Amino acid sequence: MNNLVSMSKIKKLKALPTLPVILKRLYDVLQDEDSTFCDIAEIIKYDQAITERILRVANSPYFGHSGRIISIEQAVMFLGYDLVKGICLGATTFKLLDKTKRSIVSNLWKHSCEVAIIAANIADQISNVDRAVTFVSGLLHDIGRVVFLSIDSESYLQLIYNEDILATEKAFFDIDHTEAGYSYLSSARLNEEIIATVRFHHSPSLCRDFRETVAVVSLSEGLSRMFFPRFEDDGYWSDELDAVLLELNLDDVRLSRIKEISMAEAAEMEALLTL
């Protein structure tokens, strides 16, 4: 598959898929007349596809807030109950043929949630980084992998266990998931800080703008393999991450605290969203 074909297919994607369990929880909350914006946001924020879709709508030129709505809580309150309900209930689901594939996709989703949680907790430990932005950036950091699943799920599910996932993706699609995610989110007109994080989360040293946010999410992905090891993750450690640790001034005490809080929050997230 050549680069032009890949980019063409990415531009044609209008809505990424989401997991059935998310839709089930959302449907229950949305049908409850006593539910609040907070109830809806609490579920939505753990799903990368719905997060991306709602942020895309909230930042569309039609509403005149392009790039300024950066958290799911802001987006839900800004768009209003009825519109959010329509977006959520209109979401498509992964059409998986067997339990093996369902497990793989579920683990990819959990990995993104875990990176988001770690990133938000790192943000609490340092200055000049917004917790909400790092959470959304962490949740969407691997959106390019979801793009590949949407374009050619059969082929991509055969590639994801390769340790050098970027080179493997490049060999098959002519672009890797950082480029695919960057292209997709650029067309969605999301906040530039989030887009930069998706583009450079595997190469933070190449990023010129939003360096701290990119560094936080990049480090979070590396730590995710230590905190929540999964066969499907791509959070390998690199020399760049050693430099990031020094740059962010995170010592063993802070890292231990981040791990403790993140593991507790991840457990809560899984209990909330697992049937």
Domain annotation for the chain: domains and CATH numbers: 18-89 (no CATH), 99-270 (1.10.3210.10)
Give pLDDT, residue 86.
61
Mean pLDDT of 125-140: 86
What confidence tens digit (pLDDT) does each residue in 162-205 have? 888 999 999 999 999 999 999 988 877 777 898 999 999 999 98
Give the confidence band of 96 by pLDDT, cuts at 50, 70, 90: very low
Q: How far apart are CA 71 and CA 139, in angstroms?
A: 11
What confidence tens digit (pLDDT) does each residue in 24-64 have? 777 677 767 787 878 888 888 887 778 887 888 788 765 66
User: Rounded to two decimals, what is the model's pTM?
Assistant: 0.80
Give pLDDT, residue 130.
85
Tell me how far CA of residue 269 lies from CA of 53, 165, 185, 263, in angstroms.
20, 27, 25, 10
What confidence tens digit (pLDDT) does each residue in 220-268 have? 999 999 999 888 888 888 888 888 888 888 889 999 999 999 999 888 7
Residue 125 burial (CB count, 10 A): 16
Q: How far apart are CA 27 and CA 25, in angstroms?
A: 5
Q: How far apart are CA 93 and CA 15, in angstroms?
A: 10
